[in-house]
Amino acid sequence: MTRLFNDPAAFADEALEGFTAAHRRWVRPVTGGVVRATATPAGQVAVVIGGGSGHYPAFSGLVGRGLAHGAAVGNVFASPSARQIHSVATAAHAGGGVLLMYGNYAGDVLHFGQAAERLAADGVETRTFAVADDISSAAPEESAKRRGIAGDLPVFKAAAAAAEQGLPLEEVLRVAERAGARTRSFGIAFSGCTLPGADHPLFTVPEARMAVGLGIHGEPGIGEEALPTADEAARLLVETLLKELPEDVADPTGQRAAVILNGLGSVKYEELFVVYRRVAALLGDAGVEIVDPEVGELVTSFDMAGISLTLTWLDDRLEELWRAPADTPAYRKGALDAAEPDPDRASATAAAQDTAVPAAPVVPAASDASRRAADTVLAALDAVARVVDAHADELGRIDAVAGDGDHGIGMRRGSTAAHRAAADAHGLGAGAGTVLTRAADAWADKAGGTSGALWGTILRSLGTALGDRDAPDAARVADGVTEASAAVRRLGGAEVGDKTMVDVLVPFADALAAATAEDLPLTDAWDRAATTATAAAAGTADLLPRRGRARPHAEKSLGTPDAGAHSLALITRAVHGALLDHH
């Protein structure tokens, strides 16, 4: 368990602060993460990586020459927000475009995709690439749905080394695609991890058993087996990976591979070496030539007791990039010439800071009617924050059945930040629309992850519909909820039946629109729609997830409602209470 922390909500920020203080030779802080402290040649492609905290040395520890130009760092097990990623990428950009790289998780895909759109709007040529190496999380024919785990490192490394060689953005992306297509990982665990401030692990493994096919966010494995000896564990890892070779590799004999035996947090290095001795022998017996193996903690999951094996099948080009030198706080290889400090350090930091929040607390002009409506909006957001806080542990428990158990934590961070930002805007005389859009940005920034992106979208859609000019009526509120429903489906790709919050949001929006079309007052219409939402959330217990981190553990979730759907239903009922109080 994590024993040394102050406020659990501040853990990620404080860890990043300490990391940058300890590694000023390599990195400097910017809003949202870190970038190289050394100069990047003009015109070089900037490789910007990122993900949640809790995986060190991924992602901040991999920033430096020969590897990433910057890393966006989210909260614990939560993707960084689009604004964080945009800030880091802006600071790292050297004129050659930006390649955003991350593990294939829904929240990361959403936030990095949004950041790419913002960078493109700024005139920065940007591409994205999601690493999907975990063979346990999807079948070969659905490899695009696989999670990114320790295979992040060799794929990041290949792309970054190509960028160091001065290749243009499209060629750097092709290198990433080639490395990703030839990388496979598989892992096992003996116990789950415990997040800062939590009193129990996200999952447990029965005594004398191990979880097979785990993720790196505290997700349980896809199965269990008897606890192995070190040699038996090595055989399971090697044989599993050798069963799935890249399409252009017919037989492992005579093939070269970069090999990573990765510790997930609390397996000691000596234990890893005991396992690796057998891994090396088994790969040798299969005719595989091992190239520059890595044994150690490279992509972790807090204090999870587990290991994973990664094979990247090399050709001449990928081998050259894998062997290329690198100098970062946590990963060093070969030798590089003396580094030059970044001459634009101060200006780059200022530019990155400018992208994060408005320089001054100015709000757009609003009518008196909209400012009065903002009173109700603020009360509703207060009710949201209170109901989420009251049910955070329950939401985490539901989420942990088949996911990573952090839904309650993320929702608490997001809703609290949203209420705080809304209160600040309200205090400056903002109208209802601005109060909601400021809350939307704060929710997305502080929660991160999939829920952060989706709730930011919901609040922003409502804010746009309400605006700052007129007193919003029931029909306008219903139109905003309808647009929020459509925007969430566009952004996340989920539909009714996928066992997500969409299973509640769509019927809630439809019921609210139908009720307002009957000219019911907003409080009555919302009451009817909230009742529909509650029933829809309960109905998700009978569904199997088709998206998100719970998908690889679909059967485990049967009989349990979706955490995102349940939290949305709770929120709709809480907002109804606020509407009644301000009727």
Count CB-CB contacts under 10 A for residue 321.
22
Pair 556, 400: CB distance under 8 Å: no
Cis? peptide before 140, omega within 30° of 0: no
Pair 302, 265: CB distance under 8 Å: yes
First to last CA, the chain: 47
d(CA 47, CA 187) in angstroms, rounded, equals: 27
- Residue 423 CA from chain centroid, whole number: 27
- Residue 267 CA from chain centroid, whole number: 24
Q: Give the active site residue among 23, 93, 217, 407.
A: 217
Side by side, which strands form the sheet with 33-36?
27-30, 33-36, 70-76, 46-53, 98-103, 126-131
Dihedral in degrees, nearest 10, Cα atoms 205, 210, 212, 218: 40
Instruction: Give me the residue label for tokens 């005579």.
Output: 254
Q: Is 217 a catalytic residue?
A: yes
Cα Rg for the chain, rounded, in angstroms?
A: 24
Pair 29, 23: CB distance under 8 Å: no
Pair 234, 227: CB distance under 8 Å: no
d(CA 419, CA 381) in angstroms, rounded, equals: 5
Q: Find the angle CA(505)-CA(506)-CA(510) to the nearest 5 degrees.
A: 115
d(CA 394, CA 405) in angstroms, rounded, equals: 10
Q: Find the angle CA(6)-CA(11)-CA(14) to the nearest 5 degrees.
A: 90
Kindly state the tokens that stand for 292.
Answer: 């520059």
How do beta strands 209-212 and 183-191 pair? antiparallel
Distances (CA, A) of 426 to 376, 393, 581: 11, 30, 18
Instruction: Give me the residue label for tokens 């949203």.
Output: 418
DSSP 307-360: EEEEEEEE-HHHHHHHHS-EE-SS-EES--PPPPB-TTHHHHHHHHHHTTS-SS
Active-site residues, by number, are 217
